[in-house]
Structure 1
Amino acid sequence: MASGKQIMVIAMDDSPHSMYALEWTLDHFYTPFGSLRPFHLVVVHARPVPISFLQLVGSATAEIMRMMEIDLKQAATRITEKVKDLFNKKSVNTLNVEVMEGDPRNVLCEAVDKHRASVLVIGSHGYGLVKRAVLGSVSDYCAHHAHCSVMIVKKPKT
C-alpha cells in the first residue's frame, strides 16, 4: 500500500457517469485543503482493443484497424486530461492514472488485484434491464467478481 493508506481504484471512461462518480468521490472522501484523504487514488481507464469492435462489425482492413487504434489512444489521452483537470480543480495533488487495454470488466478486476485495492468506485450508466442484458453491466460484473468492496455511484436523475 502506498504511504500506509488503503488503495481506492476509480473506474473511468468517456461517459458523464464516470466523471460524476470521480467528482462525487473527491467531494465525499477529500477535503480541499484538509488532512482527510483516507485513500491513495488510482484512476483506471480500460481502453478497448480494436479487435473487440471487429466482432461486432465484421472484418476490417489494416487501415481501419490503424484508424481505430489512433482514435482509442486519443480517447484515452482526452480522458486522462479530464481527470488531471478535475484533480487540479479539487486540489488533489497525487494523481495516478493508468490506461490498461482490454475488456473493462476484466481490466478493473485486475487493477483491484494489482493494487490490492480496498475499494473499487464505478459509475452506473443507469441501463435498464434490456440494455444490461444486451450490453452487459460492468458495475454488476465487478460487484460480483472484484476482490474488494465495490461502490457504484449513480448520477441523480434531473
Structure 2
Amino acid sequence: MAEEGRKIGLAMDFSKGSKAALKWALDGLIRKGDTLFIIHVMHPQALESRNLLWATSGSPLIPLGEFCDPEVRHGYGVEVEPDVLELLDLTCKQQEVNVLWKIYWGDAREKVCEAVLSYELDALVMGSRGLGSIRRVLLGSVTSYVLEHATCPVTVVKDRPH
C-alpha cells in the first residue's frame, strides 16, 4: 500500500521572511507526493467585488499551473514575484509535489489558523519578520499567534541577514 503524501502549509506574504521559509521548505521538508498549500492572506480592503463570494471562506484552491496565469492572479488581485513562481514550478516538476494556492482576506493570524484546520495540515512553515519585543507587543505578531493557536506543528524560519 502506497503512503499518501503529507499536507504542508506555507504562509506567504512575499516578504523576505516568507521567501526564506519557502526556500527552507522546498530544500529540506517537501518530498515526493506531498501537497504544498500556499496560504496568502490579503488585507480585507483588497477584496474586490468580483471576489466577494469568497470573502468568508477564501478563494477556491488554485493549482499552481492555473495560478501562473497572470490573468488568474489579476482576477484575485495578487501580485507575485516571478522568482517565487519559478521556484515553485521547478520544485513541483522535479519533486512531483502538488502546489495549491489559497487566498484569504482578513486577519492573517486567524486566516492562517483557519487554513490549518480546514485542510488538516500536517505541518505549517512560516517566515518571521524579526520584530523586536516592544514592536511585537504593540503591533501583535502573526507568528506568535499562529504558534499558540495552530493545531499542527509550526516551523518559523528567520531570514538570515546577508
TM exceeds 0.5?
yes
1:115 to 100, 108, 119: 119
CA contact (8 A) 1:10 1:44 kept: yes
- Could you give the per-residue CA deviations for residues 75-127 of structure 1, whole angstroms, max 9, x where no partner exists? 95223855422212334552201111111100100000000011111101111
- Could you give the per-residue CA deviations for residues 24-81 of structure 1, whole angstroms, max 9, x where no partner exists? 1101124xxxxx4363210010111119xxxxxxxxxxxxxxxxxxxxx869522385
Q: What code does the residue aligned with 2:157 have?
A: V
Unaligned runs of 5+ in 2: 47-72
Q: 1-side partners of 2:134 and 2:147: how far apart?
A: 19
SS in 2 for 1:9: strand
SS in 1 for 2:19: helix
Specify the alignment match of 2:18 in structure 1.
18
CA contact (8 A) 1:6 1:118 kept: yes
Q: Which portions of structure 1, spanning 4 or more consecutive aligned residues, are displaced by more than 3 angstroms?
A: 73-76, 80-83, 89-93
Q: 2-side partners of 1:27 and 1:155: how far apart?
A: 15
Specify the alignment match of 2:9 in structure 1.
9
RMSD, aligned CA: 2.4
Q: What code does the residue aligned with 1:13 have?
A: D
State, as a whole percentage, how many aligned pairs show the same letter: 30
CA contact (8 A) 1:10 1:42 kept: yes
Q: Which TM-score applies when normalising by structure 1?
A: 0.72
Q: Which TM-score applies when normalising by structure 2?
A: 0.71
CA contact (8 A) 2:20 2:159 kept: yes
Larger radius of gyration: 1
Q: 2-side partners of 1:82 and 1:25: how far apart?
A: 15
Aligned: 1:125 with 2:129:
yes
Q: 2-side partners of 1:144 and 1:150: how far apart?
A: 9
Unaligned runs of 5+ in 1: 31-35, 52-72
Q: 1-side partners of 2:83 and 2:77: how far apart?
A: 10
Q: 2-side partners of 1:85 and 1:8: how far apart?
A: 19
Distance 1:133 1:157, change over 3 A: same
